[in-house]
Amino acid sequence: MGRKPLEVGHYGHIRTEMLAKSKWTATATMRDSETATRRISAQGSSPSEAKRLLKLKLEARKEDNEAQAVLGLKRAEDERQAADEAKRALNRRTFAYVAHRWLKAARSKGMALSSLVRYQDLLRLHLEPAFGDEDISAIDIVQLDDFLQEFVERGQISQARSLRSLLMNVFGYAHKKQFVPFNPARATDSIKPKTSTPTALTGVELESIRDAVARYMRPEPGRGGPTPSVPVDLIIDTMLGGGGLRIGEALALRWTDLDLEGEEPTLRVLGTTVEVRNDQNNGTGLHRQPRTKTKSSMRAVRVPEWLRTRLAEAPRNPNSDLVFCTKSGKPLSRSNVYRALKKALDDAGIEHFVLHDLRKTVATAVDKYEGLAAASSILGHSNTVITQASYVERAELKADVRATLDAFAPR
């Protein structure tokens, strides 16, 4: 069995040796650390004197080693703390850190939940994978341009424009808080929106869609499967008769938002539905947001008599004030509505229709008979520019100015 190794700070057997008359040396091995031992010696006029002096020397060395160990531990702790602080400082300058600080500030200033959710998704899915761990001050214009151009080249123009808007917000905040010397996102190439001519549904197309939905809602005798639980027919009628409502606005309607008893039946648009994911501040799941997409979207609409009748006859859920909800009284999700509509249209062989087409159809009809200003107002737009550019189908036959042109007739 081998000899037990010395512990740190301990010494082994002391050996003495006479060097000359009245001159002795005492020697011992001492362990300074886990990996190092050292032979220590002292001299005296006798063996006992040499041992005494050696022990004093060993004790002094032990105390010195302990002090050095304490200093070493303190130095290591200081270095660790410095490294942690440097890491925290770096983290405080990463794009992800600054972006989430901006989101927190935007939330405290009352940004709409729907906008917060959209920005969180853009950060999580696109910006954090691309720039999250980078020092925000090291991200330059070329990097941002290249990143956005990838979306443009894939034809994702709307996504690219949304990401550029978010980047300008984040870097604008970073500039304000002195994380960066200027806002590089503002210097990126502008992204033109995809130009498309608004197309309204014809009367025949609208009726075929309504017929398909009606057949879906009232299955033929003998047809298996559960009765559809999503009232797609009433949702479509409400979006149309409510003046081109957005789907989220329709699903957020409450019975208290409707006045079906007055001389002029009205519908007030006061909210929208939002699906929240992974948000500790707002909870997860489907929510009714008590505000619309924009301030101008908060509006009251006079509804036609046929819609008053449809809504008055619609069943109400005793568990909820929502016009459209689940059996438990929670808001209907857009995905469930889309799924039910797709089933109805697939059964009828109808393609290339989305619910937002109803909004364009209403806009075109109101513009034709009431004017562009009325169409913009009923849709909840802040001005007529977006109404005309994206919602009103342009008539091929232009204004009749023949009387004016007569002035140019040859004489």
Reduce the secondary structure of 17-36 to three states and give it as a string.
EEEECCEEEEEEEEECCCCC
110 lies in a domain?
Answer: yes
* Cβ neighbours for 286, distance < 8 A, ≥ 6 positions apart: 273, 274, 275, 276, 330, 331, 333
Contact (Cβ atoms closer than 8 angstroms) between residue 239 and residue 359: yes
> Are residues 67 and 115 part of one domain?
no
- In 3D, which of 32, 180, 28 has the Cα closest to residue 102? 180
pLDDT score of 284 more than 70:
no
For residues 301 and 264, what is the distance between their CA atoms, to the nearest angstrom? 10
Q: What is the pLDDT of residue 398?
A: 45
For residues 357 and 351, what is the distance between their CA atoms, to the nearest angstrom? 12
* Cβ neighbours for 59, distance < 8 A, ≥ 6 positions apart: none
Q: What is the pLDDT of residue 402?
A: 56
pLDDT score of 144 more than 90:
yes
Task: Say what the pTM is.
Answer: 0.62
> Are residues 127 and 21 part of one domain?
no
Contact (Cβ atoms closer than 8 angstroms) between residue 26 and residue 47: yes
Q: What's the structural domain count of the chain?
A: 3
Number of Cβ within 10 Å of residue 28's Cβ equals 20
End-to-end CA distance of the chain: 132
For residues 358 and 206, what is the distance between their CA atoms, to the nearest angstrom? 9
> Are residues 212 and 183 part of one domain?
no
Q: Which residue has the higher pLDDT, 388 or 240?
A: 240
> Are residues 252 and 117 part of one domain?
no
Mean pLDDT, residues 388-394: 65
> Are residues 308 and 172 part of one domain?
no
- In 3D, which of 269, 274, 270 has the Cα closest to residue 238? 269
Q: What is the pLDDT of residue 200?
A: 84
3-state secondary structure 168-194: HHHHHHHHHCCCCCCCHHHHCCCCCCC
Residue-number span of the structural domain to which 29 is assigned: 15-87
Contact (Cβ atoms closer than 8 angstroms) between residue 332 and residue 326: yes
> Are residues 152 and 67 part of one domain?
no
Q: What is the pLDDT of residue 89?
A: 54
65 secondary structure, DSSP code: H
pLDDT score of 168 more than 90:
yes
